[in-house]
Amino acid sequence: MAWSIAQVARMSGVTSRTLRHYDEIGLLAPARVGGNGYRHYEEEQLLRLQQILVLRELDLGLAEIREIVDRHTDPVEALREHHRRLLGERDRLDAVARMVARTITELQEGEGKDGMSRISRPENLFEGFDGVRYAEEARERWPGHWERAGQQELLDTATPRELDRLGREATAGMIRMAEHMAAGTPADDPAVLAELDAHYRHMTRFWTPTTAEYTHLARMQADDERLKVNYERIAEGLAAYMRDAMVAYAHARLS
């Protein structure tokens, strides 16, 4: 059985324009194109589209999605992998949700006589945020450098408490950067570069990037949805501001 592009658009919620774009970039070609130019999709293409949409829900970019779906020829195995990814993301978001719920409770129950709310454990504000995504990206993109630096051993031996602490420190730094951005502080201001000193030191606990690698990560900051989303949750525009600050830092301090 075959479905027209209009039928697939109605079933999936993906616009016909997006489906045509997926075809143009080699992500999802139709099963056939009629003499009149109409695209037709069969079950194989619907299953591939499902994989694409699942991975989009995980905030992956189209280039990475294409690499993943092209790698899996067995649809069942592909779905198993996507299911594992979804469960991992669910667990991460559950941790963030618990953190937010706990903060709400503390704000409600800890209100003092002066009307000011009290947080009993400030570090709990940052539980659930992923502070080591840069390290994961570095491991994927520069495996030789990563292995020579011995950073995988560090990640493997770090305790959950240590990783949580690093995550809280990273998130606290992101919040301070958001405050600079909100105040209109230029991205290359000395105060911002001083904050980036802490950011760079934080990264070197996992991996020591060169000037070029740090600059690359800076640009990836605003381009890779997996990284960008962490910053945009804190303040809109923070990913781009962080990118500009990291580039300025690389030129000023790492060159």
Give 175's contacts (C-beta < 8 A, 6+ positions apart): 234
Show the 3-state SS of 84-114.
Answer: HHHHHHHHHHHHHHHHHHHHHHHHHHCCCCC
Query: Would you state the pLDDT for residue 113?
Result: 47
Query: Would you state the pLDDT for residue 140?
Result: 57
pLDDT digits (tens, 9 = 90+) for 119-156: 444 444 444 444 445 555 555 555 555 444 444 444 55
Question: Which CATH architecture fits 3-71?
Answer: Orthogonal Bundle (1.10)
Query: Would you state the pLDDT for residue 187?
Result: 94
Query: Would you state the pLDDT for residue 90?
Result: 79
pLDDT digits (tens, 9 = 90+) for 195-221: 998 888 877 766 678 888 888 888 887
Phi-psi region of 237 (alpha: psi -120 to 50; beta: other; left: phi over 0): left
- At residue 33, the 3 state secondary structure works out as strand
CA-to-CA dists, residue 100 to 137, 194, 197, 251, angstroms: 27, 30, 29, 37
Please tell me the pTM assigned to this model: 0.45
Query: Would you state the pLDDT for residue 67?
Result: 85
Alpha helices in 142-210 (DSSP H): 143-149, 151-157, 160-182, 190-204
Q: Which residues of the chain have pLDDT under 50?
A: 112-113, 115-132, 146-154
Strands 3-4 and 32-33, bridge-based pairing? unpaired
Domain 130-254 has CATH 3.40.50.2000: no
In our burial notation (b when 16+ CB lie closer than 10 A, e otherwise), range 164-178 reads: bebbbbbbbbbeebb
* Domain extent listing, the chain: 3-71, 73-128, 130-254
